[in-house]
Structure 1
Amino acid sequence: MIRRENITEITHFILLGFSDFSRFKALLFVVFLVIYVATLIWNLSLIILIRMDSHLHTPMYFFLSNLSFLDICYVTSTAPKMLFDFFQEQHTITLVGCAIQYLFFTTTGLTETCLMTAMAYDRYAAICNPLLYSSIMSPTLCVGMVLGSYMAGISGSVSQVCAILQLHFCGPNVIHHFFCDMPQLLVLSCSDIFFAKLLLAILALIFGIINALVVMISYGYIVISIMKITTAKGRSKAFNTCASHLTAVSLFYTSGSFVYLSSSSGGPSNFDRFASVFYTVMIPMLNPLIYSLRNKEIKDALKRLQKKGGYCGHHRF
C-alpha cells in the first residue's frame, strides 16, 4: 500500500477466484487442468499438422493456425494463475501483475476478433468468387490481414492498460473474479473512471460491433450465393466450407457479449465467473475440435500423416 495525502492507495489485489467453492477445490482444479492441457495439445497439434501437410498450405488453414496460436496464448493468460491459486491461501496479485495479465488477455482476445473477421472474408471470397479466390486471397493479403489483426489487438490492449495504470485504488481490493478484468477493476477504483469507460465503449464499437457487422455482411452474401446453387449436394458442400467458422464465431461473440453485458455492473456473481470460464477457457479448447471434427481436409491430412508414419516405421524395422 502507498499513502498519499492521508489516502491509502492499493497496490495489491485479492482474486476471489473460486474460493467460495472450497469443498470442490480438488475437483475444480482437476477439471480446469485437464481442459487447459487439452487446449494446449489440441491447438498445438493442429498447428503442427497444418505446418507438416502441404495440402493445408492455403489461406484458410494459414488463418486457422494463427487462431490456434492465439487460443494457446489466450487461455495461458488466465488459466495458469487460476490453477496456481487453488493451492494458495491468499490469491494476491500486484497492480502491475494485473496490468500485465490484462495486457496479454486483451491483446489475444482483440486480435482473435479481428482474425475471425478476416476468416469470414476468406470464406466470402471462396464461396462468392471461387474462380478469383486465388488471386483475391494472395499470400501478401493473407499476411497483411494477420499482421493487421495483431497490430489492432496490441493497440487496443495497450490503450486499455494505460487507462488502468492511470487509475487509483483506495480499497476494497477484492476482485470477484479469477483474473483481472476491466469491469471489476473499474468498480474498485476511487478515481474518475469516465475516460476508462469511454475507451471501453469505443473499443467495443470498433472491435465488437464493427467486426460483427463485417462478419454478418460476409455471411449474408455467402447465404445468397449458396441459395443460387441449383443442386442440393453443391449447396451442402458450400455450406460445409463455412459451417465450422460460423459456429466458432457464433460461440465467441455470443458468450463474450453475454459475459460482458451481464458483468457490466461489476458486481460479484458466481454465475458470471463460471460463464467467464466458458468464454476464456472452454472456447479455446473447442475451436480446434469445431474446425476438425467435420473437416474432410483435416481428416485426410491425418490419414496421410498416419500412412507416412507407418511407412517410416516399416523401413525403420
Structure 2
Amino acid sequence: MSTMQQIGNYTLGKVLGRGSFGSVQLAQDKRSNEMRVMKLIRKERDGHRDETWRRETFTLTALSDVSGVTKMFEYGSTETHNWIVMEQLSDDLITIVRRNETKMFSKPTSYQIMWQLVKILQDIHAIGIVHTDIKADNLMVSYKNRVRKLVLVDYGLSCWFKDHNQNRTPPAPFDNRCMHLIHTPAKTATGHPHMEAEDLVQVAYLSCSLHQFMPWKDVEAPKMTKMKKKFAKNPKKYLGNHQDLKPIIKMLVKQKHGVEPDYEGILDLLQDMFGSLGGGLASGSLNAFVVAGAINIP
C-alpha cells in the first residue's frame, strides 16, 4: 500500500518540516510500533532530487557504523516521491537558537559541540566523504539513556573524495548558486572542489552562529565571499565580543585544501578551551554546566 498517509510498512504522522524538496514527517513502523522519521523527496523531471536521494542513501549506507551520523533504517520510492526512514532525534541547533533569541550557547557547550562535530568529521573523512553542508540546521541532538549526543544529518549534498583504493579524487566543484549561502566556504564559492578543509571552515562559521552572530549575514554574494576571505586572514577584526573563538577559528581555517587536516591538534585545542572553563574532558555526550543567560544542553 502506498498513499501519503501510508507508505510501505509506515503510517505517517505529524509533519516536522517542509521545504522545496518535500517534507519530513513522523512515521510509525507497523511491525514494531516504533516511531521513526520519514524524509519524503518529491521526484523531478530533471532527476536532480532523485540524484540527491541516491547520494544520501548511498552515503548513509557507507557511514552506518559511524557514531554521530543519523541512522537510516529503510529507503524506497513511490510514483511521486523517494523516501528515507531514519531515527527520530530531538531538536536541531537552529531550533534551539531561535527558541532562545536573546541568548546564545554557553562557551563550554559551544566548545563541546565543536569537539564532537570535529570527531564526527574525522571519521566521515577517513571513509572518503565530505559533508559539504554543515550548519546549525543539520546538527541535531540525540537523547538516549539519559545521554545527549550530537548527530550530523542531511547527506544529500555529500561528496566522495577518495576512490575504492583510498586515492584522492577531488569531487566536481559546486556551481555558483552556492555563493549566496552564508555557510559556503570562500574556496567552494570560487569554484574549487569542496574537500576536508572546507568542512572544517564550515565548523568555524558554525562557531559564530552558535554565538548568535555572523559577520556576513545579509551581505550580497560577491561581497560575502570577500568578507569570508578577510575573516580567515584576520578573525579578530570580526569577532567583536567573541574573541575567545579566535584561536580555534584560526586553526580551523588554516587547514590546507586537499591535505589531510590536523584533527588531533584541533581536538586538543578545543579540549584545552573546554577544560579552561572547568568543563573537564570533552566527550561524546553533551553535558556542559550552566552559565547564566546562555543556552545549555541539558
Specify if TM > 0.5: no
Greater helix fraction, Structure 1 or Structure 2 = 1
Max Rg structure = 1
Higher strand share: 2
Give the TM-score of the pair, scaled to structure 1.
0.29
TM-score (norm 2): 0.31
